[in-house]
Structures are given as structure tokens and as C-alpha cells.
Structure 1
């Protein structure tokens, strides 16, 4: 039972990290495409928020 729970939690954490990685890559792609229209101050603010969430 305990082994099953630990395996489930490991799967959940890997799923979470994969989701975070997908979100991060999407975010980076969006930032690269919107870099011309976004001011550097707001982009650095968003980056600091994301890094604080990690």
C-alpha cells in the first residue's frame, strides 16, 4: 500500500514538473513573439513572478 502511494506521488510530481515545463516553454515562446510590443520592465516583472513560483 505504501509503495503504491509513493509511486502515485512520484507520478504526480513528474506530471506536475512536465506541466510546468510545458507552461514555461509556452511562456518563453509567447515572450519571444511579444517581445517587440512588451516593455522590458513588465517582462522582467513577469519573469520574477514566475521564478518566485518555481
Structure 2
């Protein structure tokens, strides 16, 4: 027979939510950093064609 699960505490729910939010924050920070390095041509891992 199915038994209902216990309720997750509010603090545990907040901890999980903050971890999830922080992952998005770091992904956005990395994307912004990469975009900044590409726009200023300081990136070491991308090839920039020279227009002669």
C-alpha cells in the first residue's frame, strides 16, 4: 500500500533552491566573462582572423 512521504522542511527546501540558483549564477558569470574576452580580443582559446 502507498504511504505518503514526509514533508521536506522549509530550511532544506531553501538550501536546495539556493544551490539551484547559484548554478545559474556561475553559468551566467562564465558566459559574461567569455563574451567580454571575445569582445576585447583577449581570449586565448579563440582564433581571430587578421584583415590585411
Coarse TM-score class (shorter-chain normalised): 0.5 to 0.7
TM-score by length of 1: 0.56
Structure 1: tracts of 5 or more residues without a match? 37-54
RMSD: 2.1
Structure 1 or 2: more helix by fraction: 1
Instruction: State TM-score, norm by structure 2.
Output: 0.58
Q: Runs ≥4 in structure 1, deviation > 6 angstroms?
A: none
Computing the radius of gyration from Cα coordinates, the structure with the larger value is 2
The structure whose RCO (Cα within 8 Å, separation 6+) is larger is 1
Aligned length, in residue pairs? 36
